[in-house]
Amino acid sequence: MCHDRFICIECGLHHQVLSSSFKFSVFSNKDSFSLAAEMTLRYKDAFWGEDSISNIGYEVICQRLHDGRRTCKDVEELLKMRATAEEKYGKELVAIARKAGGIYEICTLRTSFDEMKAQIEKVGNLHIQLSGVLKEEIKRMEEFRERQKEQRKKFELIMEKIQKTKVSLYKKTIDSKRSYEQHCREADEAEQTVEKMSSTLSSTPKQIEKIKIKSKQCKDSAEEAEKQYVSNIEQFNVILHEWETSHISTCEMFQQQEEDRLSIVRNALWVHCNHLSMQSVKDDECYEDVRKTLEKCDIISDNNCFVEMRSTGLIPPAPMEYQSYLKRDATSERNGSAGFVEGVMKRFSSLLQVNYSSGSKSSINAPVSLHTETSEGLYSSIHGLQHSSLGSEQYKVVYNYEAQREDELSVLFGDTVVVINQGEDGWWMVKRNGLVGVVPGSYLVKE
């Protein structure tokens, strides 16, 4: 087993991964630290506007964060589609494994086929588990995105408020500047008028005094406008400084959010690849178990097993022999007259014909009594074709049989039994180890 590590998407820490045959690539946090050390460009240094009321830098950063948020959603959608595919694939594998046949196979190939079905079902369950893991990753991504949204919202409200105040004060300052300049021009014009009238001989003292009063009023208005203009500038500069401070802190926070987002998305994709690699390893381990079982599958063993379980006989059947009905000499010596026996046999044959022609349900296996007409009473009856083979011949059991009724006897393949009676219904009375019962005659073969 090899020991590997990967970065957790939730806490950013390293976690250990165990693998049997695959070594995962690992992304270390040291790479993040070195990346941060090499990064010299800062948002707070690169996103200022051309004038004091411009907010273009902040808007560009906000657009970047908005695009990053969409990327997070795209990653979530990717994981969601992959989770759905894994779950569907896993369920289909489980269904395939459960519907697969193979129940008619025997011995080692049956074992291999059953192992194949079991491992396919196991692989399907592993893919379903992977689907659950991916859904957990999606949930963590959504929670991270929402946390960033809440953090960003606070700064956005501050920046929006201060931006409005700054723009309002800027407009007020510009208006006060215009008023100040207008009053200054009026004061200059009044001063020039006083000097002009003072040098003119036709001007009366009353006119000159009136112009001087007007000039003084213009100067006072200009001074008042100047004070207001200066005051507005001071207020605007205070707000501008406050805005710059907020802009810097917002840029720092937004840059941190962007770095976190990049790290989280990268780690999420990294962990996703690790999950897929681990799944491939687990799948290969399952199929390796099947291959090991297939290595034990032996063709000769399976054939021998089939022969031992299903053998129907060790020798071919004997050829059929002709047996004449009239050539019987069992009673000739006992009766002392061959002609008499011949007559009796003819009468027995005619009785059989009468039974067939009359539609009687009796058969040649039923006992038939023939009474002779002789006074000696040599023959009272003749028992026909009914017979039951009695003896003590030894037979070998070629199939296992388990008793189903009280009068039956359980036997195993290879047992030796003594046949007591061979019933015509196919059930033979046998004796084994002191126990007597009936078994199927087709399960026995004569030694």
Three-state SS sequence of 119-186: HHHHHHHHHHHHHHHHHHHHHHHHHHHHHHHHHHHHHHHHHHHHHHHHHHHHHHHHHHHHHHHHHHHH
Instruction: For residue 254, give the 3-state DSSP assignment.
Output: helix
Query: How many whole angstroms separate alpha carbon 216 and alpha carbon 75?
Result: 73
Each residue's pLDDT, cut to its tens digit, for the chain (447 residues) gives 343 444 444 444 434 443 333 444 545 554 554 545 565 699 999 999 888 899 999 999 999 999 999 999 999 999 999 999 999 999 999 999 999 988 899 999 999 999 999 999 999 999 999 999 999 999 999 999 999 999 999 999 999 999 999 999 999 999 999 999 999 998 888 888 888 887 776 777 888 788 888 888 998 999 999 999 999 999 999 999 999 999 999 999 999 999 999 999 999 999 999 999 999 999 999 999 999 999 999 999 999 999 988 888 888 888 888 877 776 554 444 444 444 444 444 444 444 443 433 343 333 343 434 343 433 443 334 343 334 444 568 999 999 999 998 899 999 999 999 999 998 888 999 999 989 999 999 999 987
Nearest to 79 by CA among 131, 28, 9: 131
Characterise 445 by phi-psi region: left (phi > 0), alpha (psi -120 to 50), beta (else): beta
- For the chain, give the number of residues: 447
C-alpha distances in angstroms, 53 versus 61, 134, 170, 174? 17, 47, 7, 12
Query: How many whole angstroms separate alpha carbon 97 and alpha carbon 333?
Result: 76
Query: Phi and psi of 333, rounded to 5°?
Result: -70, -35
Query: Phi and psi of 256, rounded to 5°?
Result: -65, -40
Query: Phi and psi of 193, rounded to 5°?
Result: -65, -40
Q: How many CA atoms lie within 13 Å of 7's alpha carbon, on the beta-carbon side?
A: 18
Query: How many whole angstroms separate alpha carbon 444 and alpha carbon 413?
Result: 10
Token code pair at residue 420: 């007591």
Contact indicator for 309, 105 with CB cutoff of 8 Å: no
Query: How many whole angstroms separate alpha carbon 58 and alpha carbon 76?
Result: 27
pLDDT recorded at residue 23: 42
Characterise 345 by phi-psi region: left (phi > 0), alpha (psi -120 to 50), beta (else): alpha
The string of DSSP codes covering 37-83 is: HH----HHHH---SSTT--HHHHHHHHHHHHHHHHHHHHHHHHHHHH
Query: Residue 375 class from Cβ within 10 Å (0-12 exposed, 13-18 middle, 19+ buried)?
Result: exposed
The string of DSSP codes covering 263-298 is: HHHHHHHHHHHHHHHHHHHHHHHHHHHHHHHHHT--
Name the pTM for this structure.
Answer: 0.57
Nearest to 349 by CA among 330, 334, 333, 328: 328
pLDDT recorded at residue 9: 40
Identify the DSSP state of 443: G
Query: How many whole angstroms separate alpha carbon 129 and alpha carbon 204?
Result: 107
Query: Residue 86 class from Cβ within 10 Å (0-12 exposed, 13-18 middle, 19+ buried)?
Result: buried
pLDDT recorded at residue 416: 92
pLDDT recorded at residue 118: 95
Query: How many whole angstroms separate alpha carbon 328 and alpha carbon 341?
Result: 9
Nearest to 368 by CA among 404, 389, 344: 344
Give kind and range of the element (H or E) at residue 416.
strand 416-422
